[in-house]
Amino acid sequence: MQDLRTVEFRDGNLILLDQTKLPLREEYITTKDYERIALAIERLEVRGAPAIGVAAAYALAIGYSLEPSEESFNKIYKRLEKTRPTAVNLFWALEEMKKVFYQHKHSKELSELLLRKAREILHDDIEKCEAIAKNGLKIFHSKLNVLTHCNAGSLATAGSGTALNVIKKGFENGLVNHVFVDETRPLLQGSRLTAFELEKNGIPFTINTDSTAAFLMKQGKIDCVIVGADRIAANGDTANKIGTYNLAVLANFHRIPFYVAAPTSSIDKNCSDGSEIKIELRDKSEITHIKGIQITKENYDIYSPAFDVTPNSLITAIITEKDFHLPPYNF
């Protein structure tokens, strides 16, 4: 099985796989400029809640090493926290870095301590991905056809992925027959990224438009749905890529299990339910254009939320590195 290196620190630089170019070109961004990393997060050159958190941690460590002052640290922190509002891993990682800074701000080794913490966050994510996949094997009671949405694989993490890693682990154990991949409009993370990962791992798959999911379920071609998460409220309400809520409703109607896989760093215990999750709105050009090609008039009114929230009542189980959580959820 092949995993892609999404985020890597080498020779003082952060190296990011530019996911906007996939699957047609594999290109990397190499930088020690925290502003360039912030832009990479905003542009979705690096994406996926865990990967965003790792990238932000390194951006803060690298930025401080080049401008070592408390004023600089706070400036970089504030810039990074504005990049994307929904994925809680971003804020979790930044807070972890902040703790280190204020615990050791008078240390001569502060720059190295910050880099060490960023490395810990990266390796912690790798370990969590493996534990999630192991716990996720509980969804397989026979060989299944699986539907997934967006991308929750190695491209979305520092490790092997969350939801997609459950699928990969299931396939390794002879428990996955076929994977149906929502193309995931408007930015096509399914058809571009998930398909790319499945191909590299030799897992049989079919890409379908998002609106085809109901018809697949009606035909009995889907045995379960598994997706990732960008933020999970304390009661289990889950924010994920726009279109996820649609799938949960459809799965409920067709009596198909609907699973969420995510690390505990995606759980926001300060958020009591989904109504408190801030939903990021994206630029209208992501709807009016596809890969730079205009498909409708720019003067049309556009509503483009990046995420939606699935209520806990529609989620069969939430899979973390710690457990296979069944309802009622109380994190």
Which residues are marked as active site? 230
State the residue for tokens 């996911």.
19
Largest separation between any pair of C-alpha atoms in the chain = 64
Burial class (CB in 10 A: 0-12, 13-18, 19+), 161: buried
* Tokens 């929502």 belong to residue: 182
Q: How far apart are CA 91 and CA 85, in angstroms?
A: 9
**CA dihedral sign of residues 154, 157, 159, 162:** negative
DSSP 90-155: HHHHHHHHHHHHHHSTT-TTHHHHHHHHHHHHHHHHHHHHHHHHHHHGGG-SS-EEEEE-S--BGG
